[in-house]
Structure formats: structure tokens, C-alpha cells
């Protein structure tokens, strides 16, 4: 980089001082990961915005690492005048690793709805997001192969915190019901409410998100980043619940929430586009992205995501009228799956809103159960 350009970026950007970080510590910011060297004292040229910082401590020889701990920050110039002056006078410049600005475009697509308010609303007490505080959280819920493997690792990990302590250090995600259960509603009407989750979406937007679609999308992005970079199983499950909710709506994309579904399609598109890029490597040469964290079952044609997308694509592409922007991003999302994963979608004609095969294990079955995991 041209020295004058670099100097301007240092002055205009944010510098994050990380003093006395032990050598070999794995340190990540946004979608970038570093291995700390002996002269490291922080990161410079960071664009002022919300960012995600995570780290993994190592043994003295740098061969074994603890679970990743991560947290969001609202990057703003330091309030400590002494350090500010030191940065401006370039005292730390030779010991600061540069923020890779070529990857900032990816981060903006992954975090454009995450604000300081979103971070404060969801982050756990103390701000640290780590799988070590998530033991036992999926005990009563169905597990994919990946979730089972992570659960087993957590049970045998020496880094886990006690169950009582872990409850106070979990993220404050919105509770998304598995099924709609309302007193006085039975039979076909109750089943219809669970087939089309539009009413549930509207209820959650008003009750939990203050009517703001962007706050919901911010939580979706927060959960994805907590999982992608912070290796949080809780983040994975929350993203899965929100994706299930939105892809499970039939009426909302056409009538009440067209703009939300256009924005949602863009959010999912860029999450998957980043995660599915082949041969992605970070600054230290390690593989990153969804493929590094997920087993093949999550991205197979039998996965929940494939079934949800198949039904959603059928709904959008078979409709007589769809908003042009929503249709554009639906097609882009479909092409992404087809080109990057080789998925084939044999779209069905939507009858009464949506189609399910007789032996489809993902077809909705509504039962009035007192299951605490679905509340």
C-alpha cells in the first residue's frame, strides 16, 4: 500500500490496542484470524463500526488451544488521551498489524444490521460469547449430526463452566416457539397457523422487536457471526430458529412483509456466499467459513435448509405476482445453492399455499404438547 494512503487510513480509522497478549494466541476480528507474534500490540486501520473480536488461548508451545471466546465491540476512538496521542504520533505503528481492508466488504454484508443497540440487547453479561458456557442447552431438542458431535465435545471438555454459572453468561436471544399453541383453537385452524408462520412472525415483531424488522435481521446476523467466528452452538441454533420462522411464512412475503423478505433474502445470500466460498483462508492460512465448522449433513439435500428453501422457492417462483426485488434475490439465492452445492430444486406447484410430500419428515405435524423446549 502507498505509504501516504496507509498513513491516512491509520489517522481516519480506529486502532485497537491489545497489550501483552501471549504469543501463539489465536485472535480474530470480524472474518479475519491471526496468530499473535512476540511484537504484537494491536490492530490498526479498523473502519469505525460494529465489529466482532474473538480469541483462543494456547499452551506455551502453541499446539493446544482453549475454546474460542468472542464479543462484539462498537469501535470508536479510545477515550484514553494518552493512548490516543501515542497512536496519532505513530508510537505503536511498527507493532500494529493492519486491518485487511480487502475483506471489509464481506464484513459489511454480514453485519449491516448490527448496531450498538443490537449488541447491548443480546450480548451476555460480561460480553464474552463462548461455547464453554453453553453446556446442556440442547438436551431437550432434536440434534443434527453436527450438534450431537459438539454436544459430546462439550460434555468431555475441561473448559466448561458450571451449569449455574453458564446460565448467566448466555446471550439474550429472542425465544422463537417451535409451534403455535393457542387455547380455544383446535384442528385445521391450528394446523394452518403452524403451516403458515405469518401470524407468529407478526406477533414476535410487535412483542419482542418493537415492530422493527431491522432489529430482527440484526439478531439473525449477530447469531450467525457468533456461530461462524465465535463457534457458538447457541448462535447456530438461534439462526436456525429464525431461518425456520421466516422461510415458514406464506402470506407475509406477498402482503404484509415484502420488504422484510427482500432484506432477509439478501442477508441469507451473503451469509451463505461467504460461508460457501471454496478454498477460503484467513491471514494465518487456516480454513474458515461454514465448511470448516459444519459437517456434510447440514449442507446435504436431506438437511432442514434444503427442505425449507425448496418450499420457499416453490412459493415465490410459482406465484402469479411477486415483488420484483424479492423475486430477484430469491433467484440469486437459488442459483447460489445450485452453483455452489449442486443442489437441484424440483419445484412443485403450490396448492393451498405450500406443498409437502406424503412421506416428508419436514411436513408440519401439530400436537398440543407441554414441551418446555418449544415454549
3-state secondary structure at position 111 = helix
In a domain, 56, yes or no: yes
Co-location of 208 and 301 in the same domain: yes
Per-residue pLDDT, 294: 53
* Number of domains making up the chain: 2
Candidates 218, 46, 229, 234; CA nearest to 138 is 234
- Is residue 351 domain-shared with residue 230, that is, in the same domain? yes
- Tell which of 111, 134, 161 closes a domain: 111
Taking alpha carbons only, the member of 340, 338, 331 closest to residue 290 is 340
Cell 380455544 maps to which residue? 184
Residue 146 lies in a domain: no
What range defines the domain where residue 184 resides? Answer: 172-374
- Please give the pLDDT value at position 159: 52
Give the H/E segment covering residue 372: none
| Together in a domain, 203 and 284 | yes
* pLDDT tens digits in sequence order for the chain, 375 residues long: 888 888 888 888 888 899 999 999 999 999 999 999 999 999 999 998 899 999 999 998 888 999 999 999 988 665 566 787 788 888 889 999 999 999 999 999 999 999 999 999 999 998 999 888 786 665 555 556 655 665 665 555 555 555 555 566 789 999 998 766 665 565 555 556 567 899 999 999 999 999 999 999 999 999 999 998 998 989 999 999 999 999 999 999 999 999 999 999 999 999 999 887 754 545 444 444 444 445 454 566 557 788 888 889 999 988 888 999 999 999 999 999 989 888 888 765 443 333 333 334 444 444 333 444 444
Do 102 and 187 have their domain in common? no
Q: Are residues 58 and 203 in the same domain?
A: no
- Residue 299 pLDDT: 63
| One domain for residues 89 and 214 | no
Pair (66, 189) in one structural domain: no
User: Are residues 234 and 353 located together in one domain of the fold?
Assistant: yes
Go through 271-284 and write b for each residue having 16 or more CB atoms within 10 A of its CB, e for each that does not: bbbbbbeeebebbe
330 neighbors 264 (Cβ within 8 angstroms): no
Whole-number pLDDT of residue 173: 96
Q: Are strands 32-35 and 69-74 parallel, antiparallel or unpaired?
A: unpaired
Which pairing describes strands 97-98 and 42-46: parallel, antiparallel, or unpaired? parallel
Task: Please answer whether residues 303 and 243 qualify as being in contact, where contact means their C-beta atoms are separated by less than 8 angstroms.
Answer: no
Considering 88, 111, 134, which residue would you say is the last residue of a domain? 111
Edge-to-edge strand ranges of the sheet holding 97-98: 14-17, 42-46, 97-98
**Together in a domain, 189 and 315:** yes
**Would residue 367 count as lying in a domain?**
yes
- Domain end call among 67, 89, 111: 111
Which residues are within 8 A (CB) of 157 and not within 5 positions of it... i.e. 6 or more apart?
A: 67, 132
CATH number of 302's domain = 1.25.40.550
Q: Is residue 144 part of a domain?
A: no
Amino acid at each position: 500500500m502507498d505509504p501516504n494512503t496507509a498513513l491516512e487510513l491509520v489517522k481516519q480509522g480506529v486502532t485497537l490496542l491489545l497489550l501483552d497478549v501471549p504469543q501463539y494466541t489465536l485472535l480474530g476480528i470480524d472474518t479475519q484470524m491471526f496468530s499473535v507474534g512476540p511484537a504484537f500490540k494491536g490492530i490498526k486501520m479498523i473502519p469505525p463500526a460494529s465489529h466482532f473480536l474473538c480469541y483462543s488461548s494456547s499452551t506455551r508451545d502453541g499446539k493446544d488451544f482453549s475454546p474460542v471466546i468472542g464479543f462484539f465491540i462498537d469501535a470508536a476512538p479510545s477515550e484514553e488521551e494518552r493512548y490516543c496521542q501515542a497512536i496519532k504520533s505513530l508510537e505503536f505503528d511498527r507493532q500494529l498489524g493492519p486491518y485487511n481492508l480487502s475483506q471489509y466488504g464481506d464484513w459489511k454484508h454480514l453485519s449491516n444490521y448490527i448496531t450498538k443497540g443490537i449488541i447491548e440487547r443480546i450480548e451476555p453479561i460480561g460480553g464474552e460469547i463462548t461455547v464453554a458456557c453453553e453446556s446442556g442447552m440442547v438436551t431437550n431438542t432434536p440434534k443434527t449430526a453436527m450438534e450431537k458431535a459438539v454436544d459430546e465435545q462439550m460434555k468431555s471438555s475441561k473448559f466448561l463452566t458450571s451449569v449455574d454459572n453458564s446460565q448467566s453468561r448466555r446471550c439474550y436471544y429472542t425465544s422463537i416457539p417451535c409451534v403455535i399453541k393457542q387455547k380455544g383453537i383446535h384442528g385445521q385452524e391450528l394446523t394452518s397457523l403452524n403451516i403458515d408462520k405469518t401470524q407468529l412472525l407478526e406477533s414476535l415483531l410487535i412483542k419482542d422487536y418493537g415492530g422493527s424488522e431491522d432489529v430482527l435481521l440484526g439478531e439473525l446476523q449477530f447469531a450467525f457471526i457468533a456461530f461462524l467466528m465465535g463457534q457458538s452452538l447457541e448462535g447456530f441454533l438461534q439462526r436456525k430458529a429464525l431461518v425456520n420462522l421466516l422461510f415458514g411464512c406464506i402470506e407475509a412475503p406477498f402482503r404484509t412483509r415484502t420488504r422484510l423478505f427482500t432484506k432477509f433474502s439478501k442477508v441469507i445470500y451473503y451469509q451463505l456466499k461467504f460461508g460457501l466460498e471454496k478454498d477460503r483462508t484467513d491471514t494465518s492460512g487456516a480454513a474458515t467459513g461454514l465448511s470448516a465448522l459444519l459437517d456434510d449433513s447440514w449442507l446435504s439435500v436431506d438437511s432442514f435448509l434444503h427442505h425449507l428453501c425448496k418450499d420457499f422457492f416453490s412459493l415465490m417462483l410459482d406465484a402469479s405476482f411477486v415483488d420484483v426485488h424479492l423475486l430477484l434475490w430469491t433467484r440469486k439465492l437459488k442459483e447460489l445453492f445450485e452453483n455452489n452445492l449442486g443442489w437441484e430444486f424440483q419445484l412443485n406447484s403450490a396448492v393451498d399455499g405450500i406443498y409437502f410430500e406424503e412421506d416428508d419428515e419436514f411436513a408440519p405435524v401439530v400436537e398440543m404438547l407441554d414441551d418446555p423446549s418449544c415454549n
